[in-house]
Amino acid sequence: MFIGFDYGSANCAVGIMENEQFRLLPLSKNSHYLSSTLYALDRDLICEAVLHGLPTNEQAQYRQLRRTQLARAAHARRELDLRPDEPAVFVGEQAIEAYLDMPDEGFYVRSPKSFLGAIGLRQDQMSLFEDIVTLMMQYIKRQAESHLSEGQSITHAVIGRPVNFQGIGGEQSNQQAEAVLRIAAQRAGFHEVAFLFEPIAAGMDYEARLEDNKTVLVVDVGGGTTDCSVVKMGPAHSQYRERNDDFLGHSGQRVGGNDLDIALSMAAFMPHLGLGSLMNNQLPMPNQPFWNAVAVNDVSAQRDFSSLGARRLIESLITDAQQPELLARLLKVQQQQLGYQLVRSAESAKIALSEKESVTIDLSYISADVEAKVNDPLFENAIEMPLTRIEALMNEALTKAKVMPDVIYVTGGTARSPAIYRKISSLYPNVTIVVGDHFSSVTAGLTRWAHKVFAS
């Protein structure tokens, strides 16, 4: 059995072809999608969970690779007084629930795909990312197989990947990220995997509905990355297995929904924690600790914010602040690791603004009776910088292609924001804009490509 596998920054999805029709497989209790999150009571317990998910004949080699981490995992299980069979690592909504129950304990990762391809990683960090992705893929594969006929197993997958995993690092970063995904997929039990650019996958789903040939600019605004591809599409092109000549230009960068959420957190929430307030010497508060608090897709920022040095800095800012009660809220965020929860609140506001002009967000988990009012103008002003980067990516793809598109096909979970649509329509007022299925376009295209690659 082969699948299309969208290992996304915000959500994961799996699709199969059934009677020549695309079908999403459920990955969680009430949804076809699984939130790209993981929570562990201790980070070393992740490799222990990976080990238990491996076939027996592969465990010895993995034990040798992770002997140090597994020894620490055994110690952590004893320290936490956990039974040998007691769950200690959670994925998806279960991970979110566990984190919200215990935000100042454990190890929480949101959008692990956003970290893939980061430069300067130590070997232990690479091993950790391999294990995080492996564990998630093991879980997703089990969930997907539970909805197949008895005895069917998933053996082959086409996995989506952004044009560029990171803004810096170039092709070396892309190769590193793809290697992590390949290793994780093999350990999760996939016999063979192939990769396909996500915007091209999204475009293939759109192409299946085209009756005429078109030049299409596919803009895939995902949770962690935005990818743009200029592609020749239509009946004259879709029949071919090799499509390199149809792909006229690509661009991609790590800017997406996460960046919008972070920017909104800074603009809407951080003033309630002291951002923009003054110190006793009349100077404004430094921005960096506020940024580090919510920069959940930046490994170094998160490491800095969780350090003892950050705590001491905030304590000194409280001493020097004209409104120390505001900075005390930032200290609580640092002590209880509430940055992810703030960004999650911003994401909720962003989603709500897709249907209404303003929303009030409850921040009582930071301090009683604190709430933030968010409206369209505030949101659009907050996300001006990431939107400018998305505009640059569109221009870059079109410059490489040396053509203007007949259609702009916009997809990706973040693309449902009216602010994204308004930006694109203002840039290209004379081009038809088609908004695709925000969540399943990529998965559908990956699945169609898997059918072409593995079934023929």
Three-state DSSP class for residue 23: strand
Residue 386 carries which side chain, given as an amino acid letter? P
Residue 398: CB partners within 8 Å, gap ≥ 6? 217, 230, 249, 404, 405
With CA atoms as reference, report the closest residue to 439 among 31, 47, 126.
Answer: 31
> 416 with 259: CB under 8 angstroms?
no
Rounded-to-integer distance, Cα 5 and Cα 15, Å: 7
* Higher local confidence (pLDDT), 314 or 243: 314
pLDDT over 80 at 231, yes or no: yes
Confidence at 124, pLDDT banded by 50, 70, 90: confident
Residue 117 has pLDDT above 90, yes or no: no
Q: Which CATH architecture has domain 2-190?
A: 2-Layer Sandwich (3.30)
Instruction: Give me the residue spans of the domains in the chain.
Output: 2-190, 212-256+385-437, 258-383
Amino acid at 161: R
Q: What's this model's pTM, rounded to 2 decimal places? A: 0.75
Q: Measured in whole angstroms, how far is the alpha carbon of residue 435 from the centre of its chain?
A: 21
Q: Which of 235-239, 266-270, 301-305, 382-386 has the highest mean predicted lDDT (pLDDT)?
A: 266-270
DSSP 59-101: HHHHHHHTHHHHHHHHHHHHHTT--TTS--EEETHHHHHHHHH
Contact 424, 410 (CB under 8 A): yes
Q: What is the mean pLDDT of the chain?
A: 90
Q: Do domains 2-190 and 212-256+385-437 have the same CATH topology?
A: yes
Would you tell me how many other CB atoms lie within 10 Å of the CB of residue 122? 8
Q: Output the pLDDT for position 119.
A: 75
**Is the predicted pLDDT of residue 134 greater than 90, yes or no?**
yes
- 115 closest CA partner among 105, 103, 106, 128: 128
More confident residue, 163 or 393: 393
Quickly name the fold that domain 212-256+385-437 has. Nucleotidyltransferase; domain 5 (3.30.420)
The percentage of the chain sitting over the pLDDT mark of 90, rounded to a whole number, equals: 64
Average pLDDT over residues 53-78: 95
167 pLDDT exceeds 60?
A: no
State pLDDT tens for residues 11-47: 899 999 988 889 999 998 889 999 999 999 999 999 9
